[in-house]
Structure formats: structure tokens, C-alpha cells
Amino acid sequence: MTIERHHTNDRMSQIVIHNDTVYLSGQVALKAPGASAAEQTKAILDQIDALLAEVGSDKSKALSATIWLCDMADFDAMNGVWDAWATGGAAPCRAAVHSPKLAAPQFTVEIGLIAAR
């Protein structure tokens, strides 16, 4: 059994690959802290695209996504960006969950994703 880990420290890995399945840790908008939910979603999806590309995958191979929102009032703004990203008939299974707090107060959206390689 082979497990690959990328961007790993003592706490976590950003990417884990097992049997051609790519698991991404929850991504927050590192390049857009404190921005609107739409801007944070865009920044996160850009990060996800880069992480998937790094290991030979892409959004067309996304299997499942979990989205955490600090405020469900941001659901439509997040979906506007998500819908533009998840085009081409390859949208993953998805859950959107209200989470009153994320890891730091400047982040209001977090997305975790699983994809095939």
C-alpha cells in the first residue's frame, strides 16, 4: 500500500494520495483573508486547482467536496463562484455546512475536496 503525502508538517498534509484518490485538506483563502465570501471562494478554488495540478489531477476528476460557511447568508455568493468553476458536467458530490467558526476569524469559507488522479 502506497501513500503519498505533500506539503506535510507535524500537524497535517495538504495533499494525501492513496490508490489514485487525492485527498485535499480543508482550504481557506490564504491570498484573500477578510475578503468577501465570493472572493474567498475564488481564492480557495484557485488553490484547489493548483494543488490538483501538482499531483496530475484537475477539477474534472473531483469526486466530493465539503464547504463550510460561517454565515449561510453567503451561500448564494459562494455558489455564484462555485457554479462558474464546476462547469462541464463533472460537478462532484457536495455538502455545504454552516460552521460558526473556522480556524481564524478572517476566514469565512473553507473547502475540502476529494478527487481521482
Per residue of the chain (117 residues), what is the pLDDT tens digit?
799 999 999 999 999 999 999 999 999 999 999 999 999 999 999 999 999 999 999 999 999 999 999 999 999 999 999 999 998 899 999 999 999 999 999 999 999 999 999
pLDDT at 88: 86
pLDDT at 1: 79
In whole angstroms, what is the distance from residue 87 CA to residue 42 CA? 14
Q: Give me 46's grid cell.
A: 484557485
pTM: 0.96
Give CA–CA dist 102/49, Å, rounded.
22
Contact 29, 44 (CB under 8 A): yes
**Coil, strand or helix at 90:** coil
pLDDT at 57: 98
